Amino acid sequence: MRLRRAATVAATALALALSLPASSAGAATGTFSYVYEDLGGGSHLSVLPDPPSRQCITLSKVASEFAPPSHSPRNDTGSTATVFTGAHCDGDYFTLRPNGGHASERLKLRSVVFS
């Protein structure tokens, strides 16, 4: 009797798990934003919605060493964001806590990775 009940519970749990929508397990849910300046000196806000986790993201607008680095990052994702001074997650780094971690314009960055 116990074996039958355990099998029924296991089958029910499996059916429930399969019926749930797929989650974005490989993504940091929320947004990450930063400010970058164009070559004319104009400031722009850029946003990364639901960025992938454990994957280095080089910020395209500031990837080149000739472009000024971005600044003022804000991490409104549910994951820790580690920002780097260089492209391809190279150079000095700083960690921003999840759900509102931010830094001033003094923090320069060119790439980021999420936990």
* The pLDDT of residue 4: 52
Q: Residue 92, Cα to own-chain centre: how many angstroms?
A: 18
The 10 Å Cβ neighbour count of residue 68 is 15
pLDDT digits (tens, 9 = 90+) for 64-92: 888 999 999 999 999 999 999 999 999 99
* The pLDDT of residue 65: 86
* pLDDT higher than threshold 90 for residue 3: no
